[in-house]
A and B are shown apart, each in its own frame.
Chain A
């Protein structure tokens, strides 16, 4: 696929290459996945240096406007930058929910003051954001959320609780959906920004089936929030929240968190190779267990089909055919592949794939177990697999709303 832009793009490539070579600490080469854990990532040292340099340059968010510290690059230039980073094993130290979800949404819906206050800090990776959407009684039916937000004249008063606020224990700020009108459902929701240091905010980490997790419960008790922290119009938060979820889903399906790449499960190497190690091979080099072999082949082919589809949607969106309908299937397809891989992995490991902790198991085996359990969340968060199917049915296939439901 030819890049467009010609000479200008070549000039930018040279500029990017020179800057990266001068500024990327070689010791960090290829270590992006291992180093970057949102909120809990190391500070200082080479990592801190690299983060500061990328933050100052704005290239952590290359296409965001320069006015707020972003890179101000064209999409074609951003792709060149990514290619040049890949070439030398460099990686983006600026990430998290601020970059992936909140920033793009605020750029679209925030007022000038809000953008000036919050965007530059995201650009520099200085502030961690968490998401206050789900509640104990509002999961897939998100719009039934009940966290109250009352207008007290010179401030908002917030009472209620949020669940699955991942990273809340490290977060500086939370973007929340709150209820400002109890007489309406979708039209009674507003989008509010809450400083996590405000008195009345309490965070409790949640222990999951896989053990420790980044997920938390967050409680708000008489939390006073400045009036200027409302994004968009009062009772107009649902539209903004839906837009933000689109950003979240496109991030989750990209083979990263969704599991198309499988990296999040901590298992390196291919599933077939793992099977040969644990199960053995026959004289022709085939995996000895024929039933397992066929299921592995099916999984392998699903993965390839997913990768080819990701490539196709990218090419289609670049070629001005407009957004590809295939985009809508990516979250379900990608998360299923990740879960299939995790299931196959522990099955291949046999009893060695059932360890919880301690001696008798390699770290890879223990990781496989935790990854298998933790990965079950991928078809629940970011809109469950069932909700994704509802969205495909309604938006893509044009089927009517199920009876008694509204979303």
Chain B
């Protein structure tokens, strides 16, 4: 655990108390079983917003507390522990980051206070295929009059059904695969020609495919500079990836602790199964990987707060190491629980499903290993 300030410790403790009492895994299960259409419980999200979590990275002048990414990571780690589903990551971290980093004063004024208060959900609409590939943008934005007309489609948009505004990456020049020629737009979900379709995913979280058919937006919808959105997008994505890695750290830590408890209580052959060395060494391996991954996640979040030049590689390190670790721990959670771990009534399956979805979001392990190598010149 990183060395925290007193305020950060208080925030983490508050997040832990709330998630354990108000949003345990049973709450997620209830939400799933009830088939809530947004993939999260709006009442619970409203409580999170009331506690200020949706404004942690937003400047004070726009209704936030300007408390930094490591601080928001502490909250996400706690929500990750109990699989709490909410737009905290996609809206209060990812969309908010896009507007903080690229927005004009007018855009900040229009969107940030509403994101901070929780009344508006924003999200990134970036990918167009089954894999994360932020440069492979084909969705076209054509100049028309003083504004633009958008045509194309985005896939696997997190909280895509709940969102009131999308941060859309579009091509204003060049071809799919070019980094140049990408422009980011803020597109209201109720704009004419926006059609969204809910996806039912294994992890029961909210996601949608979103089509843009002749969607007209004004020039004031451009976020940052025309054709230069690629660099801005990378910075935004790095913040989203680090935040997601923090959530994954929480999920992996809890999955491990739940499994460890089982090793200490399940009796076979007249002894607790945790006495078997075959399981002990696998537990030690998980603990080792968790400690290493935690260092990476905390370093990535701190690098963002310090505007450190090695932020991109630390973020790819964190997302890849955390992905590997969560992958291992979620598999072992099922295996070590044996038959009970295969049942829907047990939590192991919920962690396993969330693990794979989180691994894939904003780039999986192979994406980030490749990126780490590229950033280091090989």
Residues of A at under 8 Å CB distance from B? Answer: 272-273, 275-276, 281, 285-287, 293-294, 296-298, 300-302, 304-306, 308-309, 311-312, 315-316, 319, 321, 325-326, 329, 332-333, 386, 388-390, 392-393, 396-403
- Which of B271, B285, B372 is A389 in contact with, Cβ under 8 Å? B285
Assess whether B373 is in contact with A305, with CB atoms less than 8 Å apart.
no
Which B71-128 residues have a C-beta within 8 angstroms of A? none
Chain A residues closer than 8 Å to B332, beta-carbon distance? none
As a 0/1 sequence over residues 153 to 176 of chain B, the CB contacts with chain A under 8 angstroms (1 = contact) are 000000000000000000000000
- Which of B283, B292, B373 is A296 in contact with, Cβ under 8 Å? B373
Chain A residues closer than 8 Å to B274, beta-carbon distance? 399-400
Tell me, yes or no, whether B207 is within 8 Å of chain A by CB. Answer: no
Tell me, yes or no, whether B296 is within 8 Å of chain A by CB. Answer: yes
Tell me, yes or no, whether B350 is within 8 Å of chain A by CB. Answer: no
Assess whether A276 is in contact with B285, with CB atoms less than 8 Å apart.
no
Tell me, yes or no, whether B61 is within 8 Å of chain A by CB. Answer: no
Q: Shortest CB–CB separation between residue B298 and chain A, in angstroms?
A: 7
Q: Shortest CB–CB separation between residue A302 and chain B, in angstroms?
A: 8
Assess whether B373 is in contact with A321, with CB atoms less than 8 Å apart.
no
Assess whether B295 is in contact with A319, with CB atoms less than 8 Å apart.
no
A interface: dominant SS = helix
Q: Shortest CB–CB separation between residue A234 and chain B, in angstroms?
A: 34
In the complex the two chains form, what is the Cα distance from A272 to B376 in whole Å? 9
Chain B residues closer than 8 Å to A319, beta-carbon distance? 3
Assess whether B281 is in contact with A297, with CB atoms less than 8 Å apart.
no
Assess whether B291 is in contact with A325, with CB atoms less than 8 Å apart.
yes
Which B261-280 residues have a C-beta within 8 angstroms of A? 263-264, 271-272, 274-277, 280
Assess whether A276 is in contact with B296, with CB atoms less than 8 Å apart.
no
Chain A residues closer than 8 Å to B1, beta-carbon distance? 316, 321
- Which of A311, A333, A393, A402 is B283 in contact with, Cβ under 8 Å? A393
In the complex the two chains form, what is the Cα distance from A393 to B275 in whole Å? 9
**CB closest residue in chain A, given B296:** A305
Assess whether A301 is in contact with B369, with CB atoms less than 8 Å apart.
yes
Assess whether B280 is in contact with A390, with CB atoms less than 8 Å apart.
yes
Residues of B at under 8 Å CB distance from A? Answer: 1-3, 260, 263-264, 271-272, 274-277, 280-281, 283-285, 287-288, 291-296, 298-299, 317, 320-321, 366, 369-370, 372-374, 376-378
- Which of B271, B281, B284, B374 is A286 in contact with, Cβ under 8 Å? B374
A403 in contact with B271 given A272-B378, A293-B378, A305-B292 (CB within 8 Å): yes
Q: Shortest CB–CB separation between residue A309 and chain B, in angstroms?
A: 4
Chain B residues closer than 8 Å to A296, beta-carbon distance? 373, 378
In the complex the two chains form, what is the Cα distance from A211 to B295 in whole Å? 38
Assess whether B295 is in contact with A305, with CB atoms less than 8 Å apart.
yes
B interface: dominant SS = helix
A397 in contact with B283 given A294-B369, A297-B369, A301-B317 (CB within 8 Å): yes
Q: Shortest CB–CB separation between residue B370 and chain A, in angstroms?
A: 7
A308 in contact with B295 given A301-B320, A332-B288 (CB within 8 Å): yes
In the complex the two chains form, what is the Cα distance from A386 to B373 in whole Å? 32
Chain B residues closer than 8 Å to A300, beta-carbon distance? 372-373, 376
Q: Shortest CB–CB separation between residue A32 and chain B, in angstroms?
A: 27
Assess whether A309 is in contact with B372, with CB atoms less than 8 Å apart.
no
Q: Shortest CB–CB separation between residue B6 and chain A, in angstroms?
A: 12
Assess whether B378 is in contact with A275, with CB atoms less than 8 Å apart.
yes
**CB closest residue in chain A, given B3:** A319
Q: Which of A287, A300, A308, A311 has the most CB of B within 10 A?
A: A308
Chain B residues closer than 8 Å to A398, beta-carbon distance? 264
A272 in contact with B377 given A398-B264, A402-B277 (CB within 8 Å): yes
**CB closest residue in chain A, given B374:** A286
In the complex the two chains form, what is the Cα distance from A316 to B377 in whole Å? 33
In the complex the two chains form, what is the Cα distance from A176 to B298 in whole Å? 43
Q: A393-B277, A397-B287 are in contact. List 11 more A-B contacts (CB 8 A).
A: A276-B378, A294-B366, A300-B372, A301-B369, A308-B296, A321-B3, A329-B291, A397-B260, A397-B280, A399-B275, A402-B280
**CB closest residue in chain A, given B2:** A312
- Which of B295, B366, B373 is A309 in contact with, Cβ under 8 Å? B295
Q: Shortest CB–CB separation between residue B156 and chain A, in angstroms?
A: 25
- Which of A293, A297, A305, A325 is B293 in contact with, Cβ under 8 Å? A305
Assess whether B378 is in contact with A329, with CB atoms less than 8 Å apart.
no
In the complex the two chains form, what is the Cα distance from A11 to B50 in whole Å? 50
Assess whether A389 is in contact with B281, with CB atoms less than 8 Å apart.
yes
Chain B residues closer than 8 Å to A305, beta-carbon distance? 292-293, 295-296, 317, 321
In the complex the two chains form, what is the Cα distance from A118 to B372 in whole Å? 51
Chain A residues closer than 8 Å to B295, beta-carbon distance? 305, 308-309, 311-312, 326
Chain A residues closer than 8 Å to B281, beta-carbon distance? 386, 389-390, 393
In the complex the two chains form, what is the Cα distance from A309 to B296 in whole Å? 8
Q: Which of A297, A316, A390 has the most CB of B within 10 A?
A: A297
Assess whether A333 is in contact with B288, with CB atoms less than 8 Å apart.
yes
In the complex the two chains form, what is the Cα distance from A390 to B280 in whole Å? 7
Q: Shortest CB–CB separation between residue A301 and chain B, in angstroms?
A: 5
Give the 9 A-B residue pairs with the shortest CB-CB distance, closest first: A393-B280, A308-B295, A272-B378, A389-B284, A392-B284, A309-B295, A297-B373, A329-B288, A399-B274
- Which of A276, A281, A311, A389 is B280 in contact with, Cβ under 8 Å? A389
Chain B residues closer than 8 Å to A321, beta-carbon distance? 1, 3
10 A-B residue pairs with Cβ-Cβ distance under 8 Å, sorted by A, are A293-B373, A297-B369, A298-B369, A300-B372, A306-B292, A390-B280, A397-B284, A400-B274, A401-B275, A403-B271
In the complex the two chains form, what is the Cα distance from A288 to B374 in whole Å? 13
- Which of A273, A275, A304 is B296 in contact with, Cβ under 8 Å? A304
Q: Shortest CB–CB separation between residue B249 and chain A, in angstroms?
A: 13
